[in-house]
Amino acid sequence: MKLDEELRSLQLDKPIAGKSIQQLQRHTLDEQYNNKPIERSLYILTKGDDLQKLSVIQALPHLLQTDNNATISRIIPKIQQELPTSSSEFHIVTSKVFKLLIEKNVPINLLRPVLQGIESKDAIVSNAWIDTLLAVIPNLPETSVKNDVLPSAVKMSQLNRAVYCRVSSCKILGQISIHSKISAADVKKDILPMVQTLCQDCMYEVRAAMCADLAKVAKGLSGDNLIKTILLPGLVELSNDENVSVRSASVDAIVLMIPYLTSDLIKHTVVQLVKQLCTQSNRPGDLTFPVIAKAYGLLLNNLSNHLTHAEQVWFLEFFKQLSKRGLIISPSEIDMDPSLGVTCRESCAYNLPAITLFTVSKISTELNTWYSVLKDLAGDPCYIVRKTVAACIHEITRILGNENKYVASDLIKLLRDDAEEVLDSLVPNIGVTLELLANSGVLSKDSATHSSLEISRALLKCQVELFKYHNWRRKLAFLQQLEHLPNCMPSDFIHQHFTSVVLKLTIDGRARPVRSQAVRTMLVFLRYNLKENHRKWIRENLINLLCNSQCCYTRHIFIHMCIHAMSVFSGKYFKENFFIPLLKLTEDPVSTVRLCVVNLGPSLKNMLILPIDRTLQIKLENALAKMETMETDKEVIETLKRKLKEMRAPQINRQAFLMEEKKKVEEEERIQQGKVSQSPTRPAGTDTAFTSQASSSRPVGTVTVARPAMMPRRPAIAAAAMAARGPNIKK
């Protein structure tokens, strides 16, 4: 009895009461509006709730396509009528949609509701409309900017307005200054006086905002002498501001303003101002150093042609100081946020390519100083800094040219790193970096050097670390980079250190894309191996371990290997070594294996050259004929019929195939004679379903190393590759 009472007292989840009849009626539309989108939208805007109204706002672009005139004449005015009493969400969504409509030049004046929204007392609503205005100012005509936007900015800049209004005014004035129809005279007359006032505002947020847009005002003045007499003195004053936010904004403003200043002004004023800011950032309690570090690459890029040798050395030495911020904490910095030091060093690492270019082109005698910075950053205790160095070390190697021996030891250090994030940034560019080292003589494909041994050990350590985790894309990228090794190390050395490791991954790589890439890397090693006994060993192991495996998944990998072999090798080489083992899989007990072989039938037929390959043609025809009579799987039968029909069709572009085949055969002969200087890069389209590309921006002044051009892939082989992936494997 007591238990029953306790159960009744439990507050168990109970069904929530449904909508009342009145609520359902309120949210239900009459069927008469089903095929009348304009009337339906008007009804919702009049009687619907906020959520329903938002759906109409978001559908405006579609409504314009459905009935442009009715939307402009009836829907948009109704939305404007609803704005004054609407919620914040309604304003935010409407501001975004109006931005799109203004950019599309919809024939209705939407600037008025934008300016009215800016005047809202709700800061969130006001900021949403300000963002819209800033985005559409370049699309507005000159008359609208002068007669509507500029007076609104003037009104918002008054001292009696809230701080966020005056901050917004700074941004608007900056955008107006760079409007294509606003002349330098207009900027001088209407905008410059307000800029001066806002630069001296009593609130630091306003001063910082105006400082951030001074470069736009300078651009609008177009070389006018007022930049020297008014803007630059104001910038100097802001750089000495008591507030750190304003001083930080002045750093960015200086960097962006340099292109609009004369050479004499840069040499005699700006350089000294920048040095003053740098020196000031070393004072206890000054927190502008992360901002300086972030802008340092672009700063030196803009200043490099205006510096004396002594000044160039000074800036490099200061960069060295920045790269150590936060590692040694003085008594005055005990209370400083440690993350600021990490941010500063990360920015230094990000700007290393720009500093490298500056050092190599301007003060090459100071490479030792530069290298001490690279060494410190590559060995930084924080993985974030090391990760940033790893992401740009290939660019640094490219910029150094014949002097890139400096980076070899740091590359080894990064390859041995235990942090996943560092390896993620490093792996995609290992091949490019190794080839650049080979071009400068640090590595050689003709003989093994001490660097070859150290880098190979680091690569193997990196491989072990990568394969501890389950990120197959990272493993795939690493194996792709190993394809560059024949350009950087002797084939004997590769066979001794890497072949057995990669061969093992063809079996133990777990993910199919990884195993598929492992066999492709093995084929590249096979192609550029100069010893016949090594080549024979590789071929026999590939066939024994993959084609003759008891596991159907592994036999599928052999089919992937054959697809790769068609692009890596000539048809002659493929027919001599892989054609017959592949045909044997037509008798495989697993239907999906047979299906994948059938899909390759047209590609196998196309590579046959009669009468030389008459024997192989007969074997191919007999194998397919046997399947045609004995096959029991419905999907294989249907595919076989389709492929046989393709094989009977006349071949197109046969002459082009024969020419390509001749080139590949000649190239293979030259490789075996040791006369080919560089191996080709990955053919386009290989395993694209398993790979993803990432790009990262670099600061101005850096040199980005492009990946080598990829060889085109034969269409028949590309189609076969897609087909051979096949459906899910059935045992």
CB proximity list for 33: less than 8 A, separation 6 or greater? 39, 40, 43
Reduce the secondary structure of 245-267 to three states and give it as a string: HHHHHHHHHHHHHHHHCCHHHHH
Query: For residue 656, with 0-12 CB atoms within 10 Å meaning exposed, 13-18 middle and 19 or more buried, which class applies?
Result: exposed
Q: How far apart, in whole angstroms, are the C-alpha atoms of residue 265 and residue 227?
A: 10
Q: What is the pLDDT of residues 619-669, one digit of tens each?
A: 999 999 999 999 999 999 999 999 999 988 887 778 888 898 899 999 998
CB proximity list for 249: less than 8 A, separation 6 or greater? 207, 208, 209, 211, 212, 238
Q: What is the pLDDT of residues 381-427, one digit of tens each?
A: 999 999 999 999 999 999 999 988 889 999 999 999 999 999 999 99
Query: Taking a C-beta distance cutoff of 8 angstroms, is the pair 436, 398 a contact?
Result: yes
Q: What is the pLDDT of residues 448-502, one digit of tens each?
A: 889 999 999 999 999 999 999 889 999 999 999 999 999 999 999 999 999 999 9
Domain ranges of the chain: 36-139, 553-725
The whole-number pLDDT of residue 29 equals 56
Burial pattern 463-474, b for ≥16 Cβ within 10 A else e, equals bebbbeeeebeb
Q: What is the pLDDT of residues 554-579, one digit of tens each?
A: 999 999 999 999 999 999 999 999 99
Q: What is the pLDDT of residues 323-381, one digit of tens each?
A: 999 887 766 666 677 889 999 999 999 999 999 999 999 999 999 999 999 999 999 99
Q: How far apart, in whole angstroms, are the C-alpha atoms of residue 240 and residue 236?
A: 7
Q: How far apart, in whole angstroms, are the C-alpha atoms of residue 455 and residue 450?
A: 9
Query: Taking a C-beta distance cutoff of 8 angstroms, is the pair 515, 557 a contact?
Result: yes
Please state the rounded mean pLDDT for residues 664-677: 81
- According to DSSP, residue 322 is labeled H
Q: Which residue, 417, 420, 451, is CA-closest to 436?
A: 451
3-state DSSP call for residue 16? coil
Q: Assign residue 676 a region (left: φ > 0; alpha: ψ between -120 and 50; beta: otherwise).
A: beta
Asked whether the CA dihedral 201, 205, 211, 217 is positive or negative, the reply is: negative
Type of residue found at 319 = F
Helix ranges restricted to H, 304-429: 309-322, 338-350, 352-362, 367-378, 383-400, 408-415, 420-426
Q: How far apart, in whole angstroms, are the C-alpha atoms of residue 501 and residue 511?
A: 16
Angle among Cα 465, 466, 468 to the nearest 5 degrees reads 70
Centre a 10 Å sphere on the Cβ of residue 9 and count the other Cβ atoms it contains: 7
Q: What is the pLDDT of residues 32-59, one digit of tens each?
A: 566 677 887 887 788 777 777 888 888 8
Query: Taking a C-beta distance cutoff of 8 angstroms, is the pair 569, 527 a contact?
Result: yes
3-state DSSP call for residue 141? coil
pTM of the model: 0.81
The whole-number pLDDT of residue 63 equals 85
Q: How far apart, in whole angstroms, are the C-alpha atoms of residue 579 and residue 77?
A: 73
